[in-house]
Amino acid sequence: MEDIIQYISENQQEFYVFILAVFVGIEVISKVPTVLHTPLMSGSNALSGVVIVGSIIVLGKTAPDNYAALTLGFFAVLLATLNVVGGFAVTNRMLEMFKKKPAKK
């Protein structure tokens, strides 16, 4: 328990960012119309692919002879890329449907 509290106090900045980001996330989408629910879900899904940064770092710092870690890291990068690329491409395809019609208010 003490360790956890110490960890939080040592990483205060991160936890401030954490809490502020919660409110930012709620604030930015609070007025989303119903038609945009699915595209927004898809778009935010693509954003959660930001974990790709972590997977690049993890594979990048693995020793070249640690085959187990290399394999896991390789798949981490592969899957995260799928998430990012697929996510943005699908969102774009969904939003293309909004292009022709005049925008709803």
Partner 1 sequence: MILYIIDICYLVAVVLFILGIKLMSHPDTARRGNGIALSGMILAIVASFFTPGLNNIILILVAMALGTVGGLYFAKSVKMTAMPQLVSFFNGMGGAAAALIGLVEYGDLPVDEVGKGAVLMASLVIGSISFSGSMIAMGKLQGVIKDIRINKMLGFTILAVAVALAVYIIASGQPQPVLVYVVVLLALVYGLAFVYPIGGADMPVVISLLNSLTGVTAATTGLLYDNKVMLMGGILVGSAGLLLTLLMAKAMNRSVANILFTSFGTAAGG
State the nearest-atom distance from the C-beta of 90 to partner 1, in Å: 5
In Å, what is the CA distance from 28 to each residue of 32, 49, 53, 67?
9, 19, 24, 43
State the nearest-atom distance from the C-beta of 100 to partner 1, in Å: 12
State the nearest-atom distance from the C-beta of 34 to partner 1, in Å: 5
